[in-house]
Structures are given as C-alpha cells and as structure tokens.
Structure 1
Amino acid sequence: MTNFVLASASPARLKTLRSAGLDPTVIVSGVDESQADGLPPIEMALQLAELKCAAVAPRDDVPDGALVLGCDSVLELDGEALNKPGTEEEATRRWQDLRGNTGVLHTGHCLRDATTGRVAAATASTTVHFADVSDEEIAAYVASGEPLHVAGAFTVDGLGGAFVTGIEGDHHNVVGVSLPLLRELVLELGHSWTDLWAR
C-alpha cells in the first residue's frame, strides 16, 4: 500500500478519501490563503493547492514514499472568486447573491511523490445550481455556522445540500476533492489507484 498524505484540514475531503478506500495521514499546511488574492478563480484554486502541497511535502513527518495531496476549492460566481466568507455578514451577502443563481466550483489538486519529487497538478470544475432560498432560510443557514468556513459559503454534503438544486460534473469535486481527477494524477506519477486502498 502506498502512503497517502492529505495536506488539508477539511473534514469533508478526508471523509471522501476514506469512503474511496484511502486512509490518509492529515498534515495541515498552514498556508496563508491570501497569497493568491487577485488571481482569477480557476488559477487561485490551483495556486493554493500547489502552495499547500509544497508546504507539506518536505516535512519530516511525511511518511517515506508518500504521495502528498494539496487541494483548494473556490466558487466562481459572475467571474468573481468566492472563498471562505469568515463572517456572518459576508456569508449572508454571499447567499443573497447565490440564491437562484449558478456558479462554478473549482478545486485545484496538486499531487507530489515524496520519493521522486515529481508533481502532477490540475483543476476540476463543476457547475452548481442554487435554489431560490428565502431570507429566513439564509438567516437560519448562516446562524448554523456551517457556511462561514467553507469555499463559496455552502456545502453539498451538509445542511446546505437542500439549497443545491443541481450539479453538472463531478459531485465529489463540490465536496472538495475530485476522485476521478485524483486517480488520473496518481496514474500520471506512475502509481496504481488501487494500491492506495487501505487493506
């Protein structure tokens, strides 16, 4: 079995990888995400994924022979990058813009082989359609705290799932990691996807 490291604090990413048969070691990068401010949304997602991977890969606590994955998600709405809102006021404004609208969730993926130093990176993009939610629903959702610390101020696998009316593309990508894309990156680095399965 190939060791796998997730350079992300996202519980949703960890759960998705575990459901797919992996047993990642989590090592949080601590990267300052404001470093990518001002970039177009799709470039921002990939840049942050690369920074997170680069911050974790050389660390002493990375297991020998590991594959290290950095990921970052950004919601694009009308050409603007929407990352984590951070405050209730900003989350409320986001949802006032999101309701009845359509955005594109970009997740950058950067995978590094800690043995060879080789890197494979790409971005997956999924179109997300949002329900025309009421002011009361927005207030209740924001008060739950869930949207404050996630890209785009929503989840599809939590309370926010009822406010997503449709998805075009990879569902897992909206949760935070595209499994089909990750498999392609694993193969690009010369590894077998099934060798990552915990046994």
Structure 2
Amino acid sequence: MRLVLASSSPSRRSILLSAGVDPVIAPANVDEDAIMHTLGSASASEVVQALATAKAEAIAPDFPDDVVLGCDSMLLLEGELQGKPKTVEATIKRWRQQRGKVATLLSGHHLITPDAHRSFVRETQVYFAQASDADIQAYAHSGEPLQCAGAFTLEAIGGWFIDRIEGDPSSVIGLSLPGLREAFYSLGFQASDFWHPNSGQ
C-alpha cells in the first residue's frame, strides 16, 4: 500500500521516513489565499482542515488506488492565524511579536482512500522563548523559517527558541503520527501496512 503525500515539505517527508514510510511525493497546487477568502468567519480549525482537504482532493484523481494525505499547519497567535512569513522582514516582525508568548499550532489532515475519507485536526501549545533581537535577525536570515507555519521549526535551528510544547511533537514538525495511526485504524488499515520493507533494519 502506498501513501501519497500532497506536499513538498521536507519536514513532513522526514517524519514519515523516520517512521518507516517512504511516501510518494505529489505536491498539490492550490490557491490557499483564495480558499481562505471563501471561508469567511470560519474557525481556525476549520481553516486548516479546509486547506488540508483541498490539497488531498487536488491530487487524489491521479492516485485512485492509493492512500492520499493532505496536510496544512498554521499558528494561532493572540486570536489571529499566522501562515508562512515568506520574507526575512516578515519573519523578523513575526518573531518580535511572538517571543515570550504561547500560541497554538494547528495541523489539519485529510486522508483519501479508494473507499473513504477521514479528516482530523491536532492542536499543540507552543511556548516561545524570549529570543534576542540578534538571534531573531540571524534566524530570519538563515532562511529556515521563511516557508514554515509560525516562522519556526522545532527540529532544526528553531529548536533554540522554543522553550517547550504541550501536545504532539510530530504535529508541530509537520504532521501527526498518532493522529494518522488513529485514522488508519478507523479506515481498516494498520500503520505497518505503509512501512517500507527495510524499516527498522
């Protein structure tokens, strides 16, 4: 059984590879801004779920016999959803706003199998450090956080500036392995159905 990931995210691929799954990478081309515009006053959870669903549905017709996974992550900070900062300047501004604060990282997931669909959202509390201006500047110029939800990564340089989390670590990195396992079970699969033959060797 193949798992098709509707994302080019290195972090999501890395999580799956470390967990024994070698996914097919098939990035979805969706207009996230347009989708969010149509959602109006939807909740933060509904927004990330809608984006994850759109990504999975965009590529599912090309993989009718496989299991397709779409994901999306955004940071909820002081009542506002934060996506990818994309520029050094926006990253610096974002970090000056979020340092020393607690925010919620929401990760939406949508699975499509030949016979069914499953959706779920995981929420994790992220405690940001009181990062110095110099470190914020250096981190922004490293390029790492520019394409990351919340302008940080937990597993790389950004780990310096996250004091702790409450919740699912894999969800903060890119996708929830526990949530994925539960979804697989509900669809009649085992997690091990997707492991590549040399897993654990």
Please give the TM-score of this superposition, normalised by the length of structure 2. Answer: 0.93
Question: What SS class does the counterpart of residue 30 from structure 2 fall into?
Answer: coil
Letter in 2 for 1:152: G
Render the CA deviation track for 1:93-135: whole Å, top value 9, x for unaligned.
110111001111000000000x22x100000010000100111
Give the conservation status (yes or no) of the 8 Å contact 1:40–1:80. no
Query: Equivalent residue for 1:112?
Result: 112
The aligned residue for residue 25 of structure 1 is 24
The structure 2 residue matched to 1:186, chosen from 168, 184, 187, is 184
Q: Once the two structures are superposed, what CA deviation does each residue of 1:21-77 show, in whole Å capped at 9, x if it has no partner?
A: 111000010111112245432221111000000001012xx2x63110000000110
Structure 2 counterpart of 1:149, one-letter code: Q
Q: Which AA in structure 2 matches 1:86?
A: K
Distance across 2 between alignment mates of 1:105 and 1:80: 12
Residue 157 of structure 2 is matched in structure 1 by: 159
Contact persistence 1:40–1:81 (CA under 8 A): no
Amino acid at match of 2:77: L
Seq. identity, %? 44
Q: Distance in 1 between matches of 2:66 and 2:20?
A: 16
Residue matched to 2:47:
44
In 2, the alpha carbon distance for the partners of 1:3 and 1:30 equals 21
* AA partner of residue 168 (structure 2): D
**Structure 1: gaps of 5 or more residues:** none
Write out aligned runs for 1:1-199 (5 A): 2-34=1-33, 35-37=35-37, 39-59=42-62, 62=63, 65-113=65-113, 115-116=114-115, 118-199=116-197
Question: TM-score if structure 1 supplies the norm length?
Answer: 0.94
1:75–1:83 contact (8 Å) kept in structure 2: yes
Q: Report Cα offsets for 1:141-162 as digits up to 9, x if no partner.
A: 0011111111011100111011
Query: Runs in 1 of length 4+ with deviation above 2 angstroms?
Result: 37-41
Find the aligned partners of 2:5 and 2:131 in 1 and give their Cα distance: 34
Root-mean-square deviation over aligned CA pairs: 1.1
